Amino acid sequence: MMNRTLAKRILRRGESGIALISVLLLIATGSLLALMVMSISKTTSFTVMPFIQLQRSYYVLEGMAQRIQFLISADRQLYGNPQQINVDNYSEYDTDRYLPDAVPHYMDYYGTPVVFTIKDAAGPVNLRGSEFQQALRQFQNFVDEENDFTDLLEDLNYIITDYIDTDESPSDTNSWEADEYYQAGMSPLPRNGAITDRNEFAYIPGLTELFPIDQDGRLSYIRLIPPADAGVTIDGNPDIFGVTDDWLVLACDLEEDELEDLHQAIAEFHSVDRVPLSENLSDSTVLQKINNYVRWDSSGVYTVIIRPAVTDAYGEELEKKVPGRRLVFTYTPSPVAGATNGFVQFYEWMFF
């Protein structure tokens, strides 16, 4: 009897030990599952957050676009249309200026740091309609003798002509028509009609060798072509802040040291000190050479580029960087009260 009772006690102790081990295993398993869920949640948040920020950046950019339009309109109402950007001195004003001078403006938009620049839409090369022939001929006049550069200009003249004309006969042995575009995998080109969007010039073989694409993938070197129904033309000399070194050398005959002087002057003008170009170039021959080829006023059509900021106004890297899209838009500024017809017409509106 005693042996049987002792055996039952030993058996119950064994069962209690097994139950304890089972409970501990369940607790350990539950803890591991909780850790896995937390880890997956953090990983998902880390992966998804950039996409959320990119989507949010659309709203930030559109909000910034509205604010910048108001700032430009207010600047024009207070100080009139820009007339002499090369001598404008920011330190003489009680407010910041919003001129088409490519000065970087830093702003915090509800916790999102952004930077934007304002430029004149008058690019250096006008290829609109039949004016491309005059533009290419002007480049040829810059060169004293024939070389690979003048050969490329001549080829481009023929290629653009055949791109917009309505026949299928190449005007030169180096030109392209439907067969050449088909062989290059670019069917159904050519358009056989007027080019209405400057980005279409990227399809012209060899053109980007002469007029390179900018850092945003745009043909900003070519002057914008406003929509036909906009009733707007962009005429006159190009904006100094949109030309390239090659153009300055060809058109203005700048030497290497003069280019360096100009780069340094623009860098100091775009710094927080905003040193006017006329001050930095007062002892240089640069202004004398470029004055007849660039504009210091405004064509009346502005291009605004908005980007996520990675540094502050002093060039110091931001501790927190927010990924985001970029926005480029071109338009004619309206009065502060708004457009007279209630609509703001954009000639370019591109997200990147």
Segments making up each domain of the chain, as ranges: 56-123+298-352, 125-222, 244-293
Report how far apart, in Å, the C-alpha atoms of 155 and of each of 52, 148, 149, 198, 210 are: 47, 10, 10, 19, 12
What is the pLDDT, as a whole number, of residue 82? 84
Nearest-angstrom CA–CA distance, 154 and 137: 9
Pick the more confident residue, 94 or 70. Answer: 70
Q: What is the pLDDT of residue 77?
A: 92
Q: Cβ neighbours of residue 184 under 8 Å, at least 6 residues apart? A: 205
Which whole number is the average pLDDT over 60-74? 95
Residue 1 CA from chain centroid, whole number: 95
Structural contact between residues 252 and 258, judged by C-beta atoms closer than 8 angstroms: no
Question: Model confidence at 48, in pLDDT bands (50, 70, 90)?
Answer: low
What does the alpha-carbon distance between residue 232 and residue 227 come to, in Å, rounded to a whole number?
8
Which stretch of 17-21, 106-110, 346-350 has the lowest confidence by average pLDDT?
17-21
Task: Give the number of C-alpha atoms closer than 13 A to the C-alpha of residue 40, restricted to the C-beta side.
Answer: 6
Which whole number is the average pLDDT over 61-74? 95
Give the model's confidence band at 214: pLDDT under 50 very low, under 70 low, under 90 confident, else very high.
Answer: confident
Residue 229 has pLDDT above 90, yes or no: no
Q: Is the pLDDT of residue 8 over 80?
A: no
Contact (CB, 8 A) for 348 and 328: yes
Alpha helices in the chain (DSSP H): 2-79, 131-141, 148-164, 178-183, 207-210, 245-252, 256-269, 277-280, 286-290
* Structure confidence at residue 16 as a pLDDT band (50, 70, 90): low
With both helix axes pointing from N to C terminus, report the angle between 131-141 and 148-164 in degrees, rounded to the nearest 10: 180
What one-character DSSP code corresponds to residue 237?
Answer: S
φ, ψ of residue 230 to 5 degrees: the values are -75, -25
Whole-number pLDDT of residue 264:
93
pLDDT band of residue 4 (cuts 50, 70, 90) is low
Average pLDDT over residues 249-257: 88
Can you give the pLDDT at residue 314?
Answer: 86
Do residues 352 and 217 lie in contact, with contact meaning Cβ atoms separated by under 8 Å? yes
CATH code assigned to 125-222:
1.10.40
Assess whether pLDDT exceeds 80 at residue 21: no
Q: Is the pLDDT of residue 43 over 70?
A: no
Please give the structure tokens belonging to residue 314. 């002093």
What mean pLDDT, rounded, does the chain reach? 85
| Per-residue pLDDT at 348 | 92
Return the structure tokens found at 250: 């060809």
pLDDT of residue 10: 52
pLDDT in tens, 128-174: 888 888 888 888 887 777 788 888 889 999 999 999 998 888 888 88
Q: What is the pLDDT of residue 148?
A: 84
Compute the 3-state secondary structure of the chain and give helix, strand, coil in percent, each to the nearest 5: 45, 10, 45
Q: Confidence class of residue 49 from pLDDT cuts 50, 70 and 90? A: low
pLDDT of residue 163: 93
For every residue of 268-301, DSSP letters joined together read: HHSSTT---HHHHTTTSSHHHHHTTTSBSS--S-
